[in-house]
Amino acid sequence: MTTARLLLDLVNSRRDPVARMAAAWLGAGAQAFALADSGGLLAWWPNSSPPPQSGALVAPVSINGRPVGELRVFGVNGDHSQARLKADALLLSQIGSMETELNEMTGELIDNQDQLLALYDLTQSMRSQLEVVDVLHTLAQSAGRLLKATAAAAVLIERDSPLLIHYPQPFLDDQTLLNLLAQCRISGNHLLLNAGDPVNPLPTGTAGAIFEPLYVRGQIKAGLCLLRDTPFGSPDHKLARAICDQGAAAIETALLYQETLAQARLQTEAELAKNVQLRLLPQTLPHVNGLDMAAASLPASVVGGDFYDCQQHPGEPFMFAVGDVTGKGMPAALLMAMTRTLLRSKTRSLHKASPADILGSVNDDMYDDFSEVSMFATVFVGQYASHENLLYYANAGHSPVIYCPAGGEAVLLQADGTALGVLPLNLCENHALYFYPGDVLVAATDGFSEARNLAGELFGYDRLLRLVESLATQSAQSIANTLFQTMLDYSAGHGQDDDQTLVVIKGV
């Protein structure tokens, strides 16, 4: 602002006090009273005609130590008049300084109020943003506006993948911004950059830059960089810090939302996989002359690696199978589906195939797939010929399989071959046993024998054998229900460690 404008603004804002000052001089015998600067007269009294250009007492007027003009009085002289004029000029100088300081303070208050409102708007805006890229864009744009920056950039590293947002356009290359973030990570503090910095050179015409770190989940994972044509001071740093604190909170909220969304999506997919897997298992068991049957599966997680199957084709023996793919969760479930599909396919395509033939053919097809993922599957396959009362079976590493003859002692049918996928050649052989009314066969998975109580003690084979003996007179469904309930009671408080699947057949 020019000196003339400062003095003129003072006259306009304080016209009454200045007019009274002029009236006092005119009442004391002065011919005229005027305010002037180097460019000439600004105001005078009486205002009928301008006073002469010479012959006046003069006293300078300054505002905050800056000369802005002078007072002139015409028609009087002497030391007393000069002293009085200097006193009036000093009073006017003080009034002008106070007026200027008040205007500056008012301007600062308005700026501060604007900043507070902008910070509030920024907070409200980022609260509603659930995408990280939107938060970073708002952060760069709002910070640039609040700090009067010529350009701004926000950078975030999440899962080692950088995300960079420039506003309004790139001013530093991405690698330079990543290097600045790395420096903040090492120092744990913000960076103040100046023109001519040899380590971090700034674009031509830039006076200064500031790089403020953002703490996301307790670590420096993001940063805000601002450039402008004037240097950044301490108030700028404080404001940038406040903006970054808001930005960090918004980023954490957005990341949490994205993670929650991803978990919900995975949960939905897992539930869908569970429904698909359960639908793959037989929904109803076939009617077979001479047999009472029950089957069920209870995965330890949403999906599992256990399966059972039952097939009855005209002119063919009734076939059933129980299997257990190593591990739990989605990998086991995928291999389970493949193994079960192949078992069904081989049973249909291999004419009059024995249980050992079926297992050998499945092993031939699945060995490379199992080896690739270092997994395997134990499988028990049984065939029942009702006209012979014979049960043929082959066991590829599966346990427990319990046979309890009517009124007799329950025993384990041991496996004589390795699990599918362990060796390129299947070694299990066919076995046969007479199966009469009252005889019971329980083909289960190790989720039963390896169920644990709170003390970590396994249920074990001996308990399982004695339990089957005690239930042998009951129906197949009652035997299955009691086995599941017993495992639930035994493991109460411990949780289910492994999938539990069984097929119960009883001669009738």
Instruction: Give 427-452 pLDDT, tens digit per residue.
Output: 899 999 999 999 999 999 999 999 99
* Domain 281-507, CATH: 3.60.40.10
Lowest-confidence pick of 139-153, 155-169, 270-284: 270-284
**Domain 129-258 sits in CATH 3.30.450.40:** yes
Q: Tell me the average pLDDT across 249-269.
A: 84
Q: Is the pLDDT of residue 92 over 90?
A: no
Question: What is the helix (H) or strand (E) element at residue 378, kind and residue range?
Answer: strand 377-385
The string over 4-33, giving b where at least 16 C-beta atoms fall within 10 Å of a residue's C-beta and e elsewhere, is: bebbbbbbeeeeeebeebbeebbeeebebb
281 phi and psi angles, rounded to 5 deg: -75, 150
Quote the tokens at residue 173.
């290359």
Q: Is the pLDDT of residue 121 over 70?
A: no
C-alpha pair distances (Å), 216 with each of 245, 246, 316: 9, 11, 66
Q: What's the mean pLDDT when you consider all of the chain? A: 86
Q: pTM value?
A: 0.57
Q: Tell me the average pLDDT across 374-396.
A: 93
Q: Is the pLDDT of residue 108 over 70?
A: no
**What confidence score (pLDDT) does residue 467 get?**
97
What percent of the chain has pLDDT above 70?
Answer: 92
**What confidence score (pLDDT) does residue 1 get?**
47
**What confidence score (pLDDT) does residue 154 get?**
95
Instruction: Give 444-491 pLDDT, tens digit per residue.
Output: 999 999 999 888 899 999 999 999 999 999 999 999 999 999 999 998
Give residue 107's pLDDT band: very low, low, confident or very high (50, 70, 90).
low
Q: Which amino acid is at 139?
A: L
Give residue 299's pLDDT band: very low, low, confident or very high (50, 70, 90).
confident
Q: Is the pLDDT of residue 390 over 80?
A: yes
Q: Tell me the average pLDDT across 241-254.
A: 88
What percent of the chain has pLDDT above 90?
Answer: 45
What is the SS3 assignment for 286-326?
CCCCCEEEEEEEECCCCCCCEEEEEECCCCCCEEEEEEEEC
Q: Measured between alpha carbons, how far is 10 from 100 in angstroms, rounded to an integer?
A: 9
Q: Tell me the average pLDDT across 216-239.
A: 89
Residue of 274, 345, 284 lying closest to 310 (CA atoms): 284
Give residue 23's pLDDT band: very low, low, confident or very high (50, 70, 90).
very high
Lowest-confidence pick of 107-111, 161-165, 203-207: 107-111
Hey, where are the domains in the chain? 3-107, 129-258, 281-507
Give residue 423's pLDDT band: very low, low, confident or very high (50, 70, 90).
very high
Q: Is the pLDDT of residue 333 over 90?
A: no
What is the SS3 assignment for 488-506?
HHHCCCCCCCCCEEEEEEE
Instruction: Give 178-219 pLDDT, tens digit per residue.
Output: 999 999 999 999 888 877 777 777 787 788 889 999 999 889
Residue 44 · residue 33 · CB < 8 Å: yes
Do domains 129-258 and 281-507 share one topology? The answer is no
